């Protein structure tokens, strides 16, 4: 059986499964780690209001051989002792697993809305446990009444892959009081998922799109979409893909299609917005020993992308069905996509009206690819793209006419030095951009918000040997970051209201000869700095070696 390196680098990888149970850290000569501690992360904890609260166990379930089964489903009901209003609702996802198992993609839907997307760590024979938390207060409009809940975690259990994921899901409701007022949310949450009682995301093949047709309130004032999108197979690490002609020369080691991806959104066929996808790496990705015990950015708590679609609201208030379409542009393998609408309405009027006045977004980006040969069989591949677009529209509301304009600039550059018959890659990718949303009321001063992002990643990988699952040698060094900033206009300047700088560095090796592990080691670190959900400054640095934390420092930034 031929084993593609693309498979080695993905959650469905045969080699990744063969390597389960190995530890991590900076490779020492002859170092073989056979275990690692429970996963840890430098992310700031979700703040908890000091108010009366109630915790509800929404699910307790063991995910064994579930890959082809429907999602687990049940219902979740607000606790009688905490009837609301709530200042915050926090979701906690925790689990344990032991034995041998792949990393697995998981999702949680409440009332058909995806409230969590995550993936699992790979276990050791002794077993590991982990947990994560997420503020889900934006879904309070759904949580006020009993809702169906669905949880998907497709897993395989057989004589080889023995790990069963024992998972718990809770929701904690915090009552509002004078100190902690009720959370500000949209008036209505409208899921665009595929199901309310089963797995809600849609699996797309290359060239496919996902569409959902809904009828919206006739008195809209604001429309926001929350979007999830993750690649699978060769597109798990889409940022390491190369042009087809290069991949075809070394099909055992390289994925084709090139590295450029964007997630496009259309409304009734009109281009409406787009997101640059984050370069996610699963816990078995690239080299599994890279991520033990510190996961890659976005590995456990996947962040959704926010798109402001208010310029299109004037088209959506006619009482007719409208279609929202998601397309992973450039996809060379499968993607899972899902979205939810957050809607605000006119509290003093039953109807609003308006129009889309400007839309310069094209769904055909201009992508430049150059290939330059080097010494030996070295090929330097450079792929770049820039996006500049604007949408604008107005709504006539009970408070007068309000105009909303969305502008975005995004840039993309990927360089990849491919050599040794595709066995060596040195990838450096930069995705960055700025989105500005300006709201200009008929009466009053305009306001604006600005969101900037920067998703740097470099991957230096080497596969000097890849014969089969019992004979291989892998090594890699990865630098990965998520750098975000949110600002609001204040006179003639911008005032920063939130920042995130999350940087992970990792090095790992794995090797096996005739079925015997001859190297298994790595090191990783994570440094998170920025503002918490309360606006406080937070600084957390973790370093690990050989699968265990060696430094852990938390600071409030002084």
pLDDT in tens, 458-483: 999 999 999 888 899 999 999 999 99
Asked whether 456 and 430 are in contact (CB, 8 A), the reply is: yes
Give me the DSSP letters along 378-437.
-EEEEEEEEEEEEEEEEEEETTEEEEEEEEEEEEEEEEEEEEGGGTEEEEEEEEEEEEEE
Asked if 271 contacts 359 with a C-beta cutoff of 8 angstroms, the reply is yes
Residue 5 has pLDDT above 50, yes or no: no
What pTM was computed for the model? 0.94
Closest by CA position to 334, among listed 425, 281, 414, 257: 257
Distance CA 502, CA 481 (A): 5
The pLDDT of residue 3 is above 70? no
pLDDT confidence tier of residue 492, bands split at 50, 70 and 90: confident
Q: Residue 219's beta-bridge partner residues?
A: none
Q: Which residue matches tokens 């001063």?
A: 445
Would you say how long the chain is, in residues?
A: 558
Model confidence at 33, pLDDT cuts 50, 70, 90, reads: confident
pLDDT band at 323 (very low <50, low <70, confident <90, very high): very high
What is the percent of the chain where pLDDT is above 70?
Answer: 94
Q: Which two tokens stand for residue 142?
A: 């759904």
Q: What is the dihedral of CA 501, 504, 505, 509, to 10 degrees?
A: -170
Is the per-residue pLDDT at 185 higher than 50?
A: yes
Q: Which residue has the tokens 């004078």?
A: 178
Count of beta carbons in the 10 Å neighbourhood of residue 126: 11
Residue where the block lists tokens 């997307």: 117
């Amino acid at each position: 059986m031929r084993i593609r390196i693309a498979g080695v680098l993905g959650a469905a990888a045969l080699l990744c499964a063969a390597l389960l149970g190995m530890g991590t850290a900076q490779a020492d000569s002859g170092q073989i780690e056979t275990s690692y501690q429970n996963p840890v992360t430098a992310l700031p904890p979700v703040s908890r209001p000091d108010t009366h609260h109630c915790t509800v166990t929404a699910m307790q379930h063991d995910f064994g051989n579930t890959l082809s089964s429907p999602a687990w489903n049940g219902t979740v009901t607000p606790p009688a002792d905490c009837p609301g209003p709530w200042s915050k609702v926090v979701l906690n996802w925790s689990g344990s697993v032991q034995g041998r198992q792949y990393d697995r993609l998981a999702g949680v839907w409440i009332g058909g809305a995806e409230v969590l997307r995550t993936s699992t760590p790979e276990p050791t024979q002794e077993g590991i446990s982990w947990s994560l938390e997420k503020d889900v207060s934006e879904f309070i409009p759904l949580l006020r009444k009993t809702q169906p809940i669905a949880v998907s975690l497709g897993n395989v259990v057989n004589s080889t892959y023995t790990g069963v994921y024992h998972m718990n899901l809770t929701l904690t409701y915090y009552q509002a009081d004078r100190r902690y007022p009720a959370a500000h949310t949209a008036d209505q949450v409208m899921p665009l998922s595929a199901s309310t009682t089963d797995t809600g995301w849609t699996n797309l093949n290359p060239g496919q799109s996902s569409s959902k047709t809904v009828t919206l309130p006739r008195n809209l004032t604001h429309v926001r979409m929350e979007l999830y999108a993750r690649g699978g197979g060769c597109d798990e690490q889409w940022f390491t893909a190369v042009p087809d002609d290069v991949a075809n020369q070394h099909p055992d080691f390289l994925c084709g299609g090139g590295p450029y991806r964007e997630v496009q959104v259309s409304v009734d066929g009109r281009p409406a917005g787009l997101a640059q996808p984050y370069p996610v790496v699963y816990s078995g990705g690239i080299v599994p020993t890279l991520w033990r015990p510190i996961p890659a950015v976005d590995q456990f708590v996947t962040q959704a992308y926010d798109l402001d679609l208010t310029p299109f609201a004037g088209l959506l208030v006619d009482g007719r069905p409208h279609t929202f379409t998601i397309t992973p542009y450039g996809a060379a393998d499968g993607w899972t996509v899902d979205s939810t609408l957050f809607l605000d309405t006119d509290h003093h009027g039953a109807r609003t009206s308006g129009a889309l006045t400007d839309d310069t977004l094209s769904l055909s980006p201009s992508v430049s690819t150059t290939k330059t040969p080097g010494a030996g069989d070295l090929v330097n591949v450079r792929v770049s793209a820039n996006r500049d677009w604007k949408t604008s529209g107005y709504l006539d509301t009970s408070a007068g006419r309000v105009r909303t304009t969305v502008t975005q600039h995004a840039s993309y550059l990927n360089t990849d030095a491919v050599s040794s018959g595709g066995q060596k890659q040195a990838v450096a990718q930069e995705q960055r951009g700025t989105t500005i949303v300006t709201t200009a009321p008929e009466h009053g001063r305009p306001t604006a918000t600005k969101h900037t992002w920067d998703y740097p990643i470099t991957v230096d990988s080497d596969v000097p040997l890849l014969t089969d699952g019992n004979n291989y040698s892998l090594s890699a060094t990865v630098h990965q970051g998520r750098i975000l900033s949110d600002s609001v206009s204040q006179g003639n300047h911008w005032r920063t209201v939130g920042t995130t700088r999350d940087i992970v560095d990792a090095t790992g090796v794995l090797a096996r000869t005739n079925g015997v592990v001859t190297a298994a080691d790595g090191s990783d670190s994570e440094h998170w700095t920025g503002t918490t959900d309360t606006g406080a400054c937070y600084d957390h640095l973790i370093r690990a070696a050989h699968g265990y934390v060696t430094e852990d420092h938390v600071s409030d930034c002084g």
